[in-house]
Structure formats: C-alpha cells, structure tokens
Structure 1
Amino acid sequence: MDNKAYIEEKGKRSKEAARTLGNTATNIKNKALNMMAEALIQNVSFILNENKKDMETGQDKGLSRAMLDRLLLNEKRIADMAEGLRQIAALPDPIGEVTKGFQRPNGLRINQVRVPFGVIGIIYEARPNVTVDAAGLCIKSGNAVLLRGGSEALNSNKAIAEIIAKAGDAAGLPENSIQYIDIKDREAVNIMLKLNSYIDVLIPRGGAGLIRNVVQNATVPVIETGVGNCHVYVDSDADLSMAEDIIINAKTQRPAVCNAMETLLVHKDCYKELLEKLAPKLVSLGVEIRGCEKTQALIKAAVPASKEDWSTEFLDLILAVKIVDSLDEAIEHIYKYGTKHSEAIITNNYFNSQRFLKEIDAAAVYVNASTRFTDGFEFGFGGEIGISTQKLHARGPMGLEQLTSIKYMIYGEGQVR
C-alpha cells in the first residue's frame, strides 16, 4: 500500500470511530483515560528503551540541545504524562453541555450544545508527550485522533501510541479512536493537509517552518499554534528581587519550550541595579546574553545583539536584552517583534500594569509572574493540545472546550415558517 492509500485508510477508520466516540458515555471515556495512565506507568521501561533509540539517533544527527531536551523522556516526564491523563479524566465532560438556551416568540426552544469536531489530525515535532496530551484531550472531548509525530521521535511515539490505544480499546472505546501514522517520509504530512474527506481539523505543533507549511498548504481547516518569542519587561517601579526570580525562571527552568522568555526589556531607571546582580547568575547558569549597547557596556560577557535576535525564538540558553526608555518603548518593541504568545510585565505600578494588560496583543499577558505558566496543565486543563496564537475559535492553551464545536438543537410544537 502506498503512502496515500495507507493514510486514507487510517483516515477512514478514524472517521468511523468518531461516529461512535462522539456519543460514548463519560464514564467509559474516563475509564479509558485512567487505564491509559496506568498502562504508561506499567510500560515505563519499554518506553524509555524506545526513547533511548531516538536520543542516540538524534545525537548522531547533531540535533540541538533544545531539540534533544524536547525529545528526552524520563520516569518523571512519563509520570507527568500519566497524571495529565488522570486530570483530564477528572474534568467535566464538555460534550452535550448546553452553553446557551432561549425561546423565540414563535415558541421554538433553541439550545446551543457542545459537540465534538469529529476527527482531529495532530502534526507535531520531537515532543513524545504531545502523543499523550493530544490523545487524552481528544478522547475526553469525543474526537478520534490521527497523530503524526516527527521522525526524530518515531520509536517513542509509536510505543506510546500503541500502549494507550490498546488501553483505550480494553476500556471500551471504539476501535481506531487513537491512531498513529508511522511514516517518516514528509509526504505523510502533505497528504494529511488535503484529507478533507476524513479529517475535520488539523492542529500543527512545532517550529515556525512546520506551522507555516501547514497553514499555507492545508485545505483541511487549521487551528494555528504559534512560536513563542516571549518577553519580560521590568518596569521602573518593579520589585527587583521579584524580577530577578521571575527572569531566571522564565529563561532557565526549561529553555527549550515555547513559553520560555527570549527577550528581556529593562527600564533605563533600574537596569544597572538589576543587571549587576542578575547577569552573573544568568551566566553561571549557562545563559549567553546578547545585548544592546547599554547592556554590553554593563555586562562584560554580553555579545552584541543583531536585529534578527529581537525576533528569534532561541529555544535555548540564549537571552536578548534591551534597555528601554519607557513603557511605551517596551510595548512598541513587543508589538514589532512579539509572536502573540506570552508577555509579562514586572511592576508595582497599577496604572502601568493595566496599560500593559490592555495594549499587549498576546494570548497570555502576565503581571508579576513567569511566562512559563502558559500551559494547559498549569491552567488546570489537564494538559493541552497546543498554545493557539490565532484569534479564531481558540486562543491560548487549548483544553477540552477548545476541541469542541457547537450545534443548535431546536424543539418545536408544529411551527412552520
């Protein structure tokens, strides 16, 4: 069977599964999610062995430190994946929820009700945890899922997908509710982009190149997730000790993810006091500082920032630093270079915090907190299928509600028009 026929057959099976899954009882879906979580824990050794193969191949290919970190699995990360499934099981089932109800003057009673999309296609790169997050959220929201992960994580993804699909089947889910496309050839992605007959919506999750390819070439509807060129702005009225803690967390806690800070903006009135203490700590943690002229003059370890650095999602221990004259300049910089993902201001000035919240155009805007919280798990969604940076239908961490559509159910008593 050639690639096109193989993927079309997968799509057909997903479509058939979706018809039943959309009406599957909540208790069965929850049972499946908990059994999937238990299956991950029971198969930790197998998953780690498969992940080791991917890590060795990635190292041989010279994958970046950031990419290898995204690819790496360990017992804690697998335990977190399992816990995410349990959290999803504990959340209310969105399917069948009446979000609005009203009666017309002619007596028609109209209810707006949440329903599944049907089949969701997920295209992602080098993040084995996405296999679990996507499958769990899709199952709870009544959607069949067709997964296509990056070739870098093929062994890990196949192992995880097989384990959770088998557990789901045993719990009573329709067969083929969770399917994985194990074709390395990039042609697989291009086929999925045109699979309108079987896929209801596509969600890409990965780097700028992948997302651009999907958005520009898909005929299937796309919910766009975006890259994260995230900023932290330290205002003149900031608590500098708080700012220091937030900056270190936002940059170094896990630099290879989309909600990590990439650019630090500091007001001219406090940059010397802040950076003289902060810079040595960042350097000791392995951070390369790329700064403007004032930053370079203050920090010996800093190298000149290029124009490209201001618009780059490094996904690494690299930080661009710029000293700004005002809140206006900070907002203008973010407007010019930001990717509408996550932005933060550190300030004790209420007026400035409210201006920042209102004027910054991003999915998540923070006052006195790290950008690292833009995450479905941290928001209480039990994981996420991606961070949407678009404005249609869904924005920010995409949990269960964002994986549903609506339909109208109308009750009449013989009315005609």
Structure 2
Amino acid sequence: MSISDEMLRLAQQAREASRIIATLSSGVKNALLLTMAARLEQQASQLKQANLLDLQAGRDKGMAAAMLDRLELSDKVIKSMADGLREVAALPDPVGEVTGMWLRPNGIQVGRQRIPLGVIGIIYESRPNVTADAAGLCLKSGNAVILRGGSEAIHSNRAIGEVLQTAIIESGLPAAALQVVTTSDRNAVTELLKLEEQIDLIIPRGGEGLIRFVSEHSRIPVIKHYKGVCHTYVDAGADFEMAERICLNEKVQRPGVCNALETLLVHRDAAPVFLPQIAVAMGKAGVELRGCASACQLVPSMTPATEEDWPAEYLDLILAVKVVDDFEGARDHINRYCSLHTETIVTRDYATAQRFLREINSSVVMVNASSRFSDGGQLGLGAEIGISTSKLHSFGPMGLEDLTTRKFIVLGDGQIRE
C-alpha cells in the first residue's frame, strides 16, 4: 500500500470513529482516560525498552544532551503522562454545554451548544509524552486523533500509542479513535495535509521550520505558533524590585521555552536606575545583554543591538534591551516586533495598565506578572494542546474548549416562517 493510500485509510477510519467518540458520555470518556493512565504505568518497562532504541539512535547521530533529555521516557515522565490523563479526566467536559439561549419574538428559543471538531491531526517533534497528552485532550473533547511524531521518537511514540489503543479496545470503543503514524517517511505528513475531507484541524507542535512547512502545505485549517518573541515593558515609576524579580524569572528560569522573555523595554525615566540594577542581576545569571544606543550608554558592558535582535527568539540566555520614550514607544515597538504570544507591563499606574491591556493585541497580556504564566495549566485550563498565535479559531493557550466548536440549536413549538 502506498503512503498516500495508507494515510487516506487512517483518516477514513478516524472519521468513522469520531462519530462514535462524539456521542460518548462524560463518564465513559473519563473512565477511558483513567484506564489509559493505569495501562501506561503498568507497561512502564515496555515503554522504556522502546525508548532505549530512540535514545541509542539519537546518541549515534550526535544528538545534543538537551534533546536526549527531552526524548527520554524516565519513570518520572511516564508517571507525569499518567497523572496528566487523570487530570484531564477530572476537568469539566465542554461537549454538550449550551453557552446561551435567547427568545425570539415569534416564540422560538435560539442557543449555541458545544460539539467536537471531529478529527484532529497533531504533528510534533521530540517529546514522546505529547503522544499521551494530546490523545487525552482530544478524546475528552470528543474527537478522534491522528498523531505523527518525529522520527527521533518513533519507537517511543509507537509503544505509547499501542498501550493507549489497547485501553480503548478494552473499553469497547473503536481503536481508530487514536492512531499513531508509524512510518518515518516525511511524505506521510504531506499526504495527511491533503485530506481536508477527513481531517478537520491540524495542530503542529515543534520548531518554526516544522510549523511553516505544515502551514505552507496544508489544505486543512492549521493552528499556528511560529515562535514566542515575548516583551516586558518597565514603566516610569514601576516597583524596580518587582520588575527585577519578574524579568529574572521570565528570562532565566527556562530560557529555551516559548514564554521566556526575549526583549526588555524600559521607560526613559526609569532607565537610569533600573537598567544598571537589572544588568547586574542578569549578569550574575549569565545573561548576555544586547542594548540600543541609549541602553549601552547607561550600561557600557552591553553588546550593541542590531535590527536582527528585535524580532529574535533567542531561546537562550540572551536578552535584547531598548530604552523607549514613553508608553506609546513601548506599544509601537511591541506591536511591530511581537509574535502575538505574551507581553507584560510592570507599572504602578492603573490607567497605563489598562491601556496596555487594551492596546496590545497579543494572545496573552499581563500586568505585574511573569510571562512564564502563559501556559494552559498555569492559567487554569488544566492542560493545553498548544498555543495559538493566530486568531482563528482560537488565540493563546488551547484547552478542552478550544478543541470544540459551537452549533446553533433552535427550540420551537410549531412555529413557521411567514
């Protein structure tokens, strides 16, 4: 069977399974997720054996230590996958929720009700735990899912998929509700992206290159998240101790994640005091600062920034720094260079904070809080399938509700249109 035929077969089976999964009660779905969690823990030895094949292949290819760490299925990671499924089971089920009803003059009642999207394709890199996380969220929201992980984790993803699929079969449900693409042939992705009649949404998770490839080749709607160029603006009169604490957390705690701080903007009136203070703190943490001309005058040890630094997502201990004249200067810089991910203001001024919330159009906008909170779990969604920096159909961290859409429901008593 050709790759094209194989992907079409998977998608058709997923479409058929999605019609059954969409009708399941919350109790059935929750019981399924709990069974899946238990099976992961019971089969931990089997999962780690499969993972060893991927780890050895990675070492043979010279994979960096950080990447090998992301690839490893340790006991801790397996427990985390199982606990994640249990957490999703405990979340409120969005399917069937009526989000509003209104009465028309002719007596009919009109409302909107949440329904699953149908079939979701998820294309991802490196972390095999995504296989379980994504499966749990998709199934809880009533969707069938097709998972295509990276070739570097093919044995791990296949093993996790088999364990989860066994739980589905044991629950009397169609195995095709969760399918893992087991070929490493890149053409499999290209063929999946053509199947707009069978797949309703594609969610890519990985580097900018993967997401751009998927977006350029897909006939199916794609949730995009190219990169996270996050800004923090320290306003005039800000609490400098608070600002230092926030900025250090944003930049240093985990510099390689998408909600880490990449550009610091400082009001001209705050810069003479705050910039030397934050430069010392960042220097102790090993952060390289790249500043505009005004910033370099105040902190001569800074490396002069170039135009390439302002849109950069470093994912490293590097921080761009710019002195701005006022709020408008900060706003205009953010709206020009941001990736619509997360922006923060540190200020004591209520009116300025409210302007920041209104006039900055990124998916998450924060006042006096670290950008590291820009995460589905931290924001109270329980878990996230990813972060969308495109405004259709979801914007920001995506939880269960974002894997549903809404249909209109109309309740009448024999009314006809005159």
Under a length normalisation based on structure 2, what TM-score does the superposition of the two structures give? 0.91
**In the alignment, does 2:128 pair up with 1:128?**
yes
Q: Which residue of 2 is the match for residue 270 of structure 1?
A: 270
Structure 1 residue 180: deviation in Å?
A: 0.9
**In the alignment, does 2:40 pair up with 1:26?**
no
Q: Is the 8 A contact 2:212 2:226 kept in 1?
A: no
Amino acid of the residue matched to residue 355 of structure 1?
R
Q: Which residue of 2 is the match for residue 177 of structure 1?
A: 177
Q: Which residue of 1 is the match for residue 321 of structure 2?
A: 321
Compared CA separation, residues 102 and 294, structure 1 to 2 (3 A): closer
* CA distance in structure 2 between the aligned counterparts of 1:238 and 1:70, rounded to whole angstroms: 38
Report the 3-state secondary structure (helix = DSSP H, G, I; strand = E; otherwise coil) of the residue aligned with 1:322. Answer: strand
* CA distance in structure 1 between the aligned counterparts of 2:302 and 2:52, rounded to whole angstroms: 36
Q: Is the 8 A contact 1:226 1:387 kept in 2?
A: no
Compared CA separation, residues 287 and 46, structure 1 to 2 (3 A): farther
Q: Which residue of 1 is the match for residue 243 of structure 2?
A: 243
* CA distance in structure 2 between the aligned counterparts of 1:163 and 1:397, rounded to whole angstroms: 28
Amino acid of the residue matched to residue 383 of structure 2?
G
Superposed, 1:326-337 pairs within 5 Å as 326-337=326-337
Amino acid of the residue matched to residue 387 of structure 2?
I
Larger displacement relative to structure 2 (227-236 or 291-300): 291-300
Structure 1 residue 72: deviation in Å?
A: 5.0
* CA distance in structure 2 between the aligned counterparts of 1:56 and 1:307, rounded to whole angstroms: 41
Structure 1 residue 229: deviation in Å?
A: 0.7
**In the alignment, does 2:208 pair up with 1:200?**
no
Q: Which residue of 2 is the match for residue 361 of structure 1?
A: 361
Give deviations 1:54-103, integer Å, cap 9, x for gaps: 45544554556765565455444443333332221111111111122234
Amino acid of the residue matched to residue 32 of structure 1?
L
Give deviations 1:99-136, integer Å, cap 9, x for gaps: 22234333433332111111011112223332222211
* CA distance in structure 1 between the aligned counterparts of 2:15 and 2:359, rounded to whole angstroms: 43
Q: Is the 8 A contact 1:121 1:146 kept in 2?
A: yes
Amino acid of the residue matched to residue 292 of structure 2?
C
* CA distance in structure 1 between the aligned counterparts of 2:257 and 2:167, rounded to whole angstroms: 29
Superposed, 1:56-67 pairs within 5 Å as 56-58=56-58, 61=61
Q: Which residue of 1 is the match for residue 260 of structure 2?
A: 260
Q: Is the 8 A contact 1:70 1:256 kept in 2?
A: no
Q: Which residue of 2 is the match for residue 401 of structure 1?
A: 401
Superposed, 1:1-400 pairs within 5 Å as 1-58=1-58, 61=61, 70-71=70-71, 73-299=73-299, 302-400=302-400
* CA distance in structure 2 between the aligned counterparts of 1:56 and 1:25, rounded to whole angstroms: 42
* CA distance in structure 2 between the aligned counterparts of 1:78 and 1:286, rounded to whole angstroms: 33
* CA distance in structure 1 between the aligned counterparts of 2:65 and 2:290, rounded to whole angstroms: 19
* CA distance in structure 2 between the aligned counterparts of 1:319 and 1:390, rounded to whole angstroms: 25
Amino acid of the residue matched to residue 90 of structure 2?
A
Q: Is the 8 A contact 1:66 1:255 kept in 2?
A: no
Amino acid of the residue matched to residue 227 of structure 1?
K
Report the 3-state secondary structure (helix = DSSP H, G, I; strand = E; otherwise coil) of the residue aligned with 2:176. Answer: coil
Structure 1 residue 18: deviation in Å?
A: 0.5
Compared CA separation, residues 268 and 190, structure 1 to 2 (3 A): same
Larger displacement relative to structure 2 (327-336 or 83-92): 83-92
Calculate percent identity across the aligned residue pairs. 51
* CA distance in structure 2 between the aligned counterparts of 1:44 and 1:272, rounded to whole angstroms: 56
Compared CA separation, residues 348 and 80, structure 1 to 2 (3 A): farther
Amino acid of the residue matched to residue 207 of structure 2?
G
Report the 3-state secondary structure (helix = DSSP H, G, I; strand = E; otherwise coil) of the residue aligned with 1:87. Answer: helix
Q: Is the 8 A contact 1:22 1:118 kept in 2?
A: yes
* CA distance in structure 1 between the aligned counterparts of 2:270 and 2:66, rounded to whole angstroms: 32
Amino acid of the residue matched to residue 102 of structure 2?
F
* CA distance in structure 2 between the aligned counterparts of 1:155 and 1:286, rounded to whole angstroms: 37
Compared CA separation, residues 409 and 356, structure 1 to 2 (3 A): closer
Give deviations 1:338-370, integer Å, cap 9, x for gaps: 011100011112122111111111000001111
Q: Is the 8 A contact 2:250 2:371 kept in 1?
A: yes
Q: CA RMSD in A?
A: 2.4
Q: Is the 8 A contact 1:84 1:377 kept in 2?
A: no
Compared CA separation, residues 50 and 263, structure 1 to 2 (3 A): farther
Compared CA separation, residues 335 and 59, structure 1 to 2 (3 A): farther
Under a length normalisation based on structure 1, what TM-score does the superposition of the two structures give? 0.91
Amino acid of the residue matched to residue 347 of structure 2?
T
Runs of 4+ deviating beyond 6 Å: none
Report the 3-state secondary structure (helix = DSSP H, G, I; strand = E; otherwise coil) of the residue aligned with 1:384. Answer: coil
Report the 3-state secondary structure (helix = DSSP H, G, I; strand = E; otherwise coil) of the residue aligned with 2:175. Answer: coil
* CA distance in structure 2 between the aligned counterparts of 1:48 and 1:97, rounded to whole angstroms: 40
Q: Is the 8 A contact 2:236 2:268 kept in 1?
A: yes
Amino acid of the residue matched to residue 334 of structure 1?
I
Amino acid of the residue matched to residue 162 of structure 1?
E
Q: Is the 8 A contact 1:32 1:173 kept in 2?
A: no
Compared CA separation, residues 182 and 296, structure 1 to 2 (3 A): farther
Compared CA separation, residues 22 and 85, structure 1 to 2 (3 A): same
Structure 2 residue runs of 5 or longer lacking an equivalent are: none
Q: Is the 8 A contact 1:240 1:274 kept in 2?
A: yes
* CA distance in structure 2 between the aligned counterparts of 1:319 and 1:65, rounded to whole angstroms: 24
Larger displacement relative to structure 2 (187-196 or 292-301): 292-301
Amino acid of the residue matched to residue 174 of structure 2?
P
Report the 3-state secondary structure (helix = DSSP H, G, I; strand = E; otherwise coil) of the residue aligned with 2:265. Answer: strand
Compared CA separation, residues 338 and 8, structure 1 to 2 (3 A): same
Report the 3-state secondary structure (helix = DSSP H, G, I; strand = E; otherwise coil) of the residue aligned with 1:311. Answer: coil
Q: Is the 8 A contact 1:66 1:315 kept in 2?
A: no
